[in-house]
Amino acid sequence: MEGVSFICASIFIDAPTGATGALERAAAAVSHGARLIEWRIDDLAGDADAAKALSLLISRSPAPCIVTARSAVEGGRFQGDDAALANLVRSIAGLEHHPRYLDIEANRFRSSPAVRDAAAALKRRPAQPDAPTSVLLSVHDLLGRPRDLIQQIEWMTAEPLCDVIKVAWTARSLRDNLEAFELLRTRRKPMIALCMGPFGEMSRILAPKFGGLVTFASDAPGNETAPGQMTIERLRGLYRFDAIGARTRVFGVAGWPVAHSRSPHVHNAAFAATGEDAVYVPMPIAPGYEPFKATIASLIDEPRLDFRGASVTIPHKEHLLRFVKERGGRVDDASRRIGAANTLIVGPAGAVGCANTDAPAAVDALCAGMNFDRKELANRKVAILGAGGVARAVAVGCAEASANVIIFNRTQERARSLAAELSALELPGKVVPGKPGRVNCGCFDIIINCTSIGMEGGPAPHDSPLDLLAEDGPAAIDERVTVMDTVYTPRHTPLIKEAAARGAKAIPGTDMFIRQAALQFHLWTQRAAPLDVMRSALDAASVFRWNER
Ligand code: NAP
């Protein structure tokens, strides 16, 4: 069943006095790309002057509209009983102008003959001057997938008064989205199938791929009418909703949490700039190997999703490597050495592979920043601050390029064991633990921060790792030293500012971030990544995120 998917701006109206403001918001939403307006009259419906306000909203609506009075059990605020709902439907039938759709909860429609009769009367009304009103029967479950979901859909499909079926439930994992897609694919009537909450974003973004009639969106941050709803700007600007079709390939960022990841900004911009029919979405996966394996396998094993790859981040980088090995997939040398991967590649027939783009990206960013060739890294003394996942990848990258690596970490035992592990790989460069507290000895050519110190929202956003890890006096950095950060939010971390102020060459974490993303883009598309586009998208993402708050 082919169909067009619309963005519907959902707008609450609390009282009759709010109608004019709501119409202004609707006009702005339409100018931003909404093709439908949902008037959420949960509160308004109980007001004595509701009919007058409703008449205004419907007759002046800048786009065809859905009228909805959502009751509390289904996630709204409408307090009326069945008789009140039937009266509301009858009063809408009596208006001169009619909404394009009237949303009635399936449970009330089924259980109340009065509601059913009122809906039948509405549909019998002559169609002038508008198109006839279609009855949209809806089922919402805020707790999770309704147990009788399939039976409810069967029933709505068979119900002659039902023109459109809507089902929405709170997703417990990404896998719920796959069921929503399957329902859309096998629908026999126009349908909206959406998953709510953070796990459900995918169903909202990919509705056009599976022919969902509508994705609801808010006109501004904070105006959401359901959990997980995003703004029109985000749907169209970031996820290119209008460009998504049946053949669009799906990529994403898999991790926990992923809500603040900048990767969707960077990769979607790259897809847009190169004309790739692809979209990149958030893929939150709860910690642990089992959730990771089960989720990724289900995405891969649904061929109609066209899932072709993911950036994999904390806490799943080791899980990715294990998953790909278990499936007999291809593992690149960097992932094997590092013991973790950050890129999943899925072939059209479901064959998997993984790669680690962090290590080459770090070395590339370093060499580009120092304006020299990789060979010139040989024998340089590189202090790595941190002993976590990124430190491991960066240390491997540097030691592979024959640099001598010295690892410092707050938890010294971790620095010692990481150094011992990497030494055992017998890479061309040496890897040793640093003397505790001796970060500021002034004896390094390059210092790379691989801790999360300086990261916005992290454990020490206003600090420099040199101050926190040193016991040997003020930072000994000057114009002879190169300082690179891997932290990329913000671009100018306290460390980068300090390094620049002391005349050192300062390479921000954004350089590595863009390069690891560019390598992923190449692995997925076999094309050169549009680096400048990706850089501007990352810069713009900071502003975007700020505005979204
Ligand atoms: P991780 O495995 O959790 O390691 C965190 C490291 O930071 C550990 O060494 C930890 O020391 C240290 N640390 C945390 N808080 C500290 C504090 N208050 N004082 C001293 N040390 C502290 O994290 P990861 O995956 O390696 O990521 C590290 C950073 O890399 C992230 O913040 C992220 O911004 C950045 N990153 C950048 C890119 C890029 O492309 N540019 C990609 C991925 C990640 P202990 O061992 O003592 O706990």
Across 113-128, average pLDDT: 86
What does DSSP say about strands 191-196 and 164-170: parallel, antiparallel, or unpaired? parallel
| Separation of alpha carbons 77 and 32, rounded Å | 27
Q: What is the pLDDT of residue 129?
A: 62
Cα of 466 vs centre of ligand 1, distance in Å, is 14
| Separation of alpha carbons 294 and 304, rounded Å | 18
| Closest-lying ligand 1 atom to the alpha carbon of residue 460 | 18
Residue type, 494: P
| Closest-lying ligand 1 atom to the alpha carbon of residue 515 | 40
Helix (H, G, I), strand (E, B) or coil at 505: strand
Mean pLDDT of the chain: 94
Given ligand 1 and candidates 262, 313, 452, which is best to mutate, with the most ligand atoms within 8 Å of its CB?
452
What does DSSP say about strands 214-218 and 191-196: parallel, antiparallel, or unpaired? unpaired
Residue 547: which pLDDT band, with cuts at 50, 70 and 90? Answer: very low
| Separation of alpha carbons 69 and 77, rounded Å | 8
Residues contacting residue 228 through CB under 8 Å, at least 6 positions apart: 195, 196, 197, 198, 199, 200, 201, 204
- C-beta of residue 101 within 8 angstroms of C-beta of residue 65: yes
Cα of 499 vs centre of ligand 1, distance in Å, is 19
Across 147-162, average pLDDT: 98
Name the residue at shortest CA distance from atom 46 of ligand 1: 411
Q: Lowest mean pLDDT of 203-212, 410-419, 464-473, name the range.
A: 464-473
Cα of 450 vs centre of ligand 1, distance in Å, is 5
- C-beta of residue 497 within 8 angstroms of C-beta of residue 475: no
| Separation of alpha carbons 130 and 136, rounded Å | 17
pLDDT digits (tens, 9 = 90+) for 168-206: 999 999 999 999 999 999 999 999 999 999 999 999 999
**Size of the chain in residues:** 549
Q: What is the pLDDT of residue 313?
A: 96
Residue type, 318: E
Neighbours of 107 (CB within 10 A): 16
Q: What is the pLDDT of residue 2?
A: 53
Residue type, 417: S
Return the H-helix or E-strand segment holding 135: strand 134-141
The first and second tokens of residue 239, run together, are: 């996820």
Given ligand 1 and candidates 262, 313, 390, 411, which is best to mutate, with the most ligand atoms within 8 Å of its CB?
390
Q: What is the pLDDT of residue 127?
A: 58
Q: Which DSSP symbol is given to 444? A: -
Q: What is the pLDDT of residue 441?
A: 80
| Closest-lying ligand 1 atom to the alpha carbon of residue 451 | 7
Active-site entry in 166, 209, 293, 317: 317
> Which of 324, 308, 343 has the alpha carbon at shortest distance from 518?
343
**Where do we find the tokens 């009266």?**
87
433 or 457, which is more confident? 433
Burial zone of 125 (CB within 10 Å; 0-12 exposed, 13-18 middle, 19+ buried): middle
Per-residue pLDDT at 549 exceeds 50: no
What does residue 55 show for φ and ψ, rounded to 5 degrees? -60, -45
Name the residue at shortest CA distance from atom 1 of ligand 1: 388
Neighbours of 325 (CB within 10 A): 16
Residue 437: which pLDDT band, with cuts at 50, 70 and 90? Answer: confident
317 has catalytic annotation:
yes
Q: What is the pLDDT of residue 125?
A: 75
Q: Lowest mean pLDDT of 48-52, 73-77, 124-128, 491-495, name the range.
A: 124-128
Residue 440: which pLDDT band, with cuts at 50, 70 and 90? Answer: confident
Name the residue at shortest CA distance from atom 21 of ligand 1: 410
Residue 124: which pLDDT band, with cuts at 50, 70 and 90? Answer: confident
Q: Helix 289-300 crosses helix 317-326 at what angle (to 10 degrees)?
A: 60
Cα of 327 vs centre of ligand 1, distance in Å, is 30
| Separation of alpha carbons 69 and 466, rounded Å | 58
Cα of 428 vs centre of ligand 1, distance in Å, is 25
pLDDT digits (tens, 9 = 90+) for 201-252: 999 999 999 999 999 999 999 999 999 999 999 999 999 999 999 999 999 9
DSSP string covering 141-181: ESSSS-TTHHHHHHHHHH-TT--EEEEEEE-SSTHHHHHHH
| Separation of alpha carbons 260 and 509, rounded Å | 16
Across 457-477, average pLDDT: 84
Burial zone of 90 (CB within 10 Å; 0-12 exposed, 13-18 middle, 19+ buried): middle
Cα of 385 vs centre of ligand 1, distance in Å, is 9
Spacing of C-alpha 56 from chain mean position = 37
Name the residue at shortest CA distance from atom 33 of ligand 1: 487
Name the residue at shortest CA distance from atom 7 of ligand 1: 451
Name the residue at shortest CA distance from atom 27 of ligand 1: 390
Ligand 1: residues within 6 Å at CB?
314, 358, 386-391, 409-411, 414, 450-453, 455, 458-460, 468, 486-488, 509, 512-513, 516
Across 412-439, average pLDDT: 94
pLDDT digits (tens, 9 = 90+) for 244-278: 999 999 999 999 999 989 999 999 999 999 999 99
- Which ranges in 235-288 belong to alpha helices (H)? 263-274
Residue 89: which pLDDT band, with cuts at 50, 70 and 90? Answer: very high
Residues contacting residue 153 through CB under 8 Å, at least 6 positions apart: 165, 167, 183
Residue 323: which pLDDT band, with cuts at 50, 70 and 90? Answer: very high
The first and second tokens of residue 267, run together, are: 């990769």
Helix (H, G, I), strand (E, B) or coil at 445: coil
Name the residue at shortest CA distance from atom 44 of ligand 1: 390
Cα of 389 vs centre of ligand 1, distance in Å, is 7
Neighbours of 392 (CB within 10 A): 25
E strand map for 13-133: 36-40, 65-68, 101-105
